[in-house]
A = this chain, B = another copy of it.
């Protein structure tokens, strides 16, 4: 069992042609049930294993999907990936996953590698810093399906899957307002990325809707690194402004901030109300529980996987599905409850 057995070996052994072997092993319609059975059974016994290198070369198809994410180890992204993997696996697709680590250059390199690897489709969530999308041209030129999720950009014929971040941002903000906040701070992420600009826009929408003035001091752009929470605390404490509510672009930041504020003696929600984003499980561990927007990562992954695969199978035309919006949901918890 050390030399690998090929279809030629099987062919010789069974006195048929390699083509017949191939047909038998691939459920090709034009082959008699008998020879098929004979071949499959013998292949089985002989320990034959297909050589995908050869099959891929011949078919110019790999049954592999490339995925590029900013980082693997975040609750949200790993949920998405889990969803994608689940459906891919169920359809005989493999996933090659790589991280851009928020670097445009690495994203570019990964894109090229995945192209060279011959993935049948590419799914990407953009790095913070990506400003130029030329590296995706390879895929578009070759008409290889390209789909963006969560942190997306809008290229012709490339579907996107997200939630309505603008509406969600407005919902979160409106919730704070309805619970009595008059001067809200929004702690956002890099404004290069749709998800953060949209949430920010939604934030301003809501202020506007309720006749609250938006001033530049109502917004801080961050890299969402919870380690840098002290900057925000400084802004909160030292600013002339007295903020009575904060809308964070993600839960991790919100929780880190809550911990710091609580330690400093702030009362939440009495002194300041807080809402996060994502519905990370930590939002239900922190006391008081953190209000947030549910952004269903696993479901997003499943949906993304399904739409890529049904496109690859020719079932739907992905290009017609320009952009899919998942439903989000406001989850009101104690961190923002009314205290009047």
Residues of A within 8 A of B (CB): 1-2, 4, 49-54, 56-57, 60, 62, 64, 71-75, 77-79, 81-82, 85-86, 89, 92, 94-99, 101, 106, 110, 112-118, 138, 141-142, 255, 259, 281-282, 285-287, 297-298
Contacts and interface: CB of A to CB of B under 8 A. Distances in A.
26 contacts: A49-B112, A50-B116, A51-B116, A51-B118, A52-B116, A53-B53, A53-B56, A56-B57, A64-B96, A64-B117, A72-B78, A72-B85, A73-B75, A73-B82, A73-B297, A77-B78, A78-B78, A78-B81, A86-B99, A94-B96, A94-B98, A95-B97, A255-B285, A282-B285, A285-B285, A287-B287
A288 B286 CA distance: 11
B57 A85 contact: no
A162 to B, nearest CB: 19
A25 B122 CA distance: 25
A278 B86 CA distance: 25
A73 B78 contact: yes
Given A78-B78, A118-B51, A113 B98 contact: no
A53 B49 contact: no
A241 to B, nearest CB: 28
Nearest to A298: B73
Contacts of A2: 141-142
Contacts of A99: 82, 85-86, 89
Contacts of A85: 72, 97-99
A89 B89 CA distance: 23
Given A73-B75, A89-B106, 17 more contacts: A51-B116, A53-B57, A53-B118, A56-B57, A57-B57, A73-B79, A73-B82, A73-B297, A78-B78, A85-B99, A92-B113, A94-B96, A94-B113, A96-B96, A96-B97, A97-B97, A287-B287
